[in-house]
Amino acid sequence: MDAVVADFNALELAHAKSDPGYVPIEVEKVTISKLEQKLLIAIAGGNPPDLAGNYSFAVAAYADHGALSDLRPLMAQSNFDRSRYIEHFLRLGEYRGGTWALPIAPASTALVFNKRLFNEAGLDPARPPTTIEELDAYAEKLTKWEVTLPSGDKRVESGYLPQVPAAQKRLLQAGFLPNEPHWWMFGWGDFFGGQLLDGSDRVSTASAANIRAFEWVASYSRKLGVDVIKRFRSGFGSSSSPQNAFLSGKVAMEMQGVWIYNSVEKYAPGLAWAAAPFPHPADHPELAGTTRADADVLMIPKGSAHPGEAWQFIQFASTQAALEKLCLAQQKFTPLNDVSDGFWSAHPNPSIRLFRELALGKNAVSIPRTEVWNEYNRELGNAADLIQNLKQTPAIALADVQTKMQAALDRDRKILARRQAQ
Amino acid sequence: MSRANSLSRANRRNGLLFCLPWLIGLTVFLIYPLCAAFYYSLCDYSVLLPPVFIGFDNYLDLAKDPLFWKSLGNTAYFAAGSVSLGLLVSLSLALLLNSKVKALGVYRTIFFLPSLMPVVASSILWMWMYNGQSGLINTGLRALGISGPAWLADPIWAKPAIVIMAVWGAGNAMVVYLAGLQDVPASLYEAALIDGAGFFQRLIHVTIPMISPVIYFNVVLSLISGFQAFTQAFIMTGSTGAPERSTLFYVLNLYNVGFQDLRMGYASAMAWVLFVIILLLTWAATKLSQRFVTYDR
């Protein structure tokens, strides 16, 4: 983003030089941590930045609380051409009839796998699993234990080894763990055809497809053992470190975002990996190519002192050249339909076309746009905890979340109605 | 007469002037927020939009909110654990460090040092110690033939783990106890010794009654900070209070509701309930202290 800001400022200065009457706009970029909360406080305090970057899943809550300017009037004035954009990403900024944000750096997810571990397990890296059932079979072959024999000798064996008591085996390598990385525990339902929201007012956590997805999650706890997974996972370092489970070769297959390329280059250069569409249930071929696709967005906070100038910058940052520069620096793809040849040839990620194609597909899903998302996410996280620890069945845990979240959504709708009545 | 009057007037004025910075601070940073929070607790308030008055709805909703009770229970567990264990450890350390041994200053410094560490840093350090696979604690336990739990990932062990970590910072209380212990007149110990009192008799009949005001002070302070526990859980187990919400402390829940869900009115009601709870506990401690605390006057 720094380079795009510098380009914009240079262009403005050049404009001022050629036209002495023109007052140039200068954009100053400030990087902050805990963005969501700090931005909220700045807006509430009446001193927001003129322009803010944020995540697409924050749009609904911000918009519902009147914290954002609707971009539609500005878009109409400048003949905004929505056909330039990949429709899915443009929709992430739209909510309740308004356009509150524009996407700049999107991301999507796919199955990534360790080619060396595939070869070691006798699997063909050119034939990654395409169905969930295949994924499960591959995962079993890619799971390795250190088994202590009655003689005291140790031997490495693969599979789940249900016949060997827990005390005599130590997990060395997992083929697949649904909670590694743990970022998307809320969203496995999407891969089985489930939805978290049915329309905008009905919570559908306990749908059959979601229950099926979490049964699948729980099956890994049963196959490997709850305590085994916990202890194994506690040996992993943070996602941005060489001790990351995938980078260190402890987990052979994961769902990962397009950014995995950067992590490999930084922390595990030389790791032989590849990406493929995340598998779908064999009985649902129509779900092939399901991907989580969200984006970083630009928004103009309510109370921005310079909304016109902010919009000028957004327009500049949304040109194909600027977006390609930004997304190339972040090693992502752009939210636009057109891609220049230069972008493809300069892009270092060998799987970038796959990640983009998945995002263009009909099964690109995103975090539901609802003002209660943070609460919903926490509830789902807790349900996932209970399900993985085999404390509750998915049917019970998800029904509980559905009841709570329907009440939360109704509560918020009531508040909204009360506000509008005032 | 009039000179004495003007002198007392001048004294009052000067006194007020000297107090003024503190008074302003108290009003602006404590009394106003306290009153504002109470008003917001009666409103539906998202910070971003003007508050809408709804009476006591937030408080009524709190009573029915399972997360409120869960987080209150977790916090009470943490406060009770950290206060009692902290008292035991810091008082024992102070008693040990009150004896006359070589290089006493070094020992005192060593035991005090951990309490100087910021909570964030010590939380990260303890995350490594508690690592189920390669942590120092489980490595030690393994040497004893015990297979330790995956501490912070285990709903049974996560809370005790955070309590144990709190005791690590007992250095502050220890120093206060040490100061109290050194104030106990030697003559009392001498008299007790002549009467043939052993170590525990001296501890129970001389030391503890003599330092009871210090114990009272430390207990009240650690109770208050126990109920405000936030950072450890936020850093070590995340804002969801995982695993299975076993580390969802009251203030963590309040933070989630206020700053993540934008329900600042509800969060204000939670803050007021916490305020009243701490007030009641402090009052109870004061009542108890009237029976058990002896002031040397």
Q: Would residue A417 count as lying in a domain? A: no
Please name the residue ranges forming H helices in B113-170.
119-129, 136-143, 158-168
Confidence at residue B276, expressed as pLDDT on a 0 to 100 scale: 95
**How many domains, in total, are found in chain A?**
2
Token pair of B229, please?
């526990």
Instruction: Give buried/exposed letters for A82-116 (b at 16+ CB in 10 A, else e).
Output: eeebbebbbbbbbbeeebbbbbbbbbbbbbbbbbe
Give the model's confidence band at B259: pLDDT under 50 very low, under 70 low, under 90 confident, else very high: confident
Q: Which of A62, A235, A302 sits opposite B133 (nearest CB)?
A: A235
Count of A–B CB contacts within 8 Å? Answer: 81
Q: Which of A44, A234, A374 sits opposite B150 (nearest CB)?
A: A234
What is the pLDDT averaged over residues B4-25? 90
What is the C-alpha separation between A102 and A314, in angstroms, rounded? 8
Q: Which of B45, B46, B60 to mutate to test the interface with A (most CBs of A within 10 A)?
A: B46
What is the C-alpha separation between A179 and A171, in angstroms, rounded? 16
Please give the mean pLDDT across all residues of chain B.
Answer: 90
Give the DSSP letter string of A66-98.
T-B---HHHHHHTT--GGGB-HHHHHTTEETTE
Amino acid at A77: Q
B128 touches chain A (CB under 8 A): no
- A285 and A158, same structural domain? yes
B150 touches chain A (CB under 8 A): yes
- A158 and A59, same structural domain? no
Confidence at residue B297, expressed as pLDDT on a 0 to 100 scale: 46
CATH number of the domain where residue A395 is located: 3.40.190.10
- A184 and A89, same structural domain? no
Say yes or no for a CB contact (<8 Å) between A378 and B239.
yes
Confidence at residue B2, expressed as pLDDT on a 0 to 100 scale: 67
ipTM value greater than 0.95: no
- A377 and A233, same structural domain? yes
Say yes or no for a CB contact (<8 Å) between B155 and A422.
no
- A53 and A135, same structural domain? no
Q: Would residue A236 count as lying in a domain? A: yes
Contact in structure between B194 and B134 (CB atoms under 8 Å): no
A415 touches chain B (CB under 8 A): yes
Give the model's confidence band at B16: pLDDT under 50 very low, under 70 low, under 90 confident, else very high: very high
The shortest C-alpha distance from B137 to chain A (Å) reads 13
Confidence at residue B274, expressed as pLDDT on a 0 to 100 scale: 96
Distances (CA, A) of B177 to A132, A179, B84, B92: 62, 47, 15, 9
pLDDT tens across the length of chain A (422 residues): 888 888 898 888 888 888 888 888 888 888 888 787 788 888 888 889 999 999 999 999 899 888 999 999 999 999 999 999 999 999 999 998 999 999 999 999 999 999 999 999 999 999 999 999 999 999 999 999 999 999 989 999 999 999 999 889 999 999 999 999 989 999 999 999 999 999 878 999 999 999 999 999 999 999 999 999 998 998 888 888 888 999 999 999 999 999 999 999 999 999 999 999 999 999 999 999 999 999 999 999 999 999 999 999 999 999 999 999 999 999 999 999 999 999 999 999 999 999 999 999 999 999 999 989 999 999 999 999 999 999 999 999 999 999 999 999 999 888 888 877 77
- A272 and A315, same structural domain? no
Q: Which of A378, A385, A422 sits opposite B256 (nearest CB)?
A: A378
Which residue, among A108, A32, A79, has the nearest Cα to A361 in the 3D structure? A108
- The CA radius of gyration of chain A, in Å to the nearest whole number, is 24
What is the pLDDT averaged over residues B15-21? 93
Q: Would residue A422 count as lying in a domain? A: no
Contact in structure between A257 and A107 (CB atoms under 8 Å): yes
Say yes or no for a CB contact (<8 Å) between B259 and A37.
yes
- A143 and A287, same structural domain? yes
Confidence at residue A45, expressed as pLDDT on a 0 to 100 scale: 86
pTM score of the predicted model = 0.90
Q: Residue A145 pairs with which residues in a beta bridge?
A: A157, A171
What is the pLDDT averaged over residues B157-171? 90
Strand, helix or coil at A35? helix
Which residue, among A61, A34, A49, A97, has the nearest Cα to A314 in the 3D structure? A49
Q: Which residues of chain B are within 8 Å of residue A65 when distances are taken between CB atoms?
A: 46-49, 262
Q: Would residue A418 count as lying in a domain? A: no
Residues 6 or more apart whose CB falls under 8 angstroms from that of B293 comprise B212, B213, B215, B216
What is the C-alpha separation between B119 and B230, in angstroms, rounded? 10
- A116 and A44, same structural domain? no
Q: Would residue A97 count as lying in a domain? A: yes
A118 burial via Cβ count (<10 Å: 0-12, 13-18, 19+): buried
A414 touches chain B (CB under 8 A): no
Residues spanned by the domain of A82: 2-108+297-360
- A164 and A61, same structural domain? no
Q: Would residue A338 count as lying in a domain? A: yes
Contact in structure between B231 and B222 (CB atoms under 8 Å): no
B259 touches chain A (CB under 8 A): yes
B40 touches chain A (CB under 8 A): no
Q: Would residue A152 count as lying in a domain? A: yes
- A191 and A102, same structural domain? no
Q: Which residues of chain B are within 8 Å of residue A386 when distances are taken between CB atoms?
A: 244
pLDDT tens-place string over residues A118-128: 999 999 999 99
CATH code for the structural domain at B62-292:
1.10.3720.10
- A137 and A30, same structural domain? no
What residues does each domain of chain B span?
62-292
What is the pLDDT averaged over residues B103-117? 87
B49 touches chain A (CB under 8 A): yes
- A324 and A189, same structural domain? no
In chain A, which among 46-65 make CB contacts under 8 A with chain B?
61-62, 65
Q: Would residue A327 count as lying in a domain? A: yes
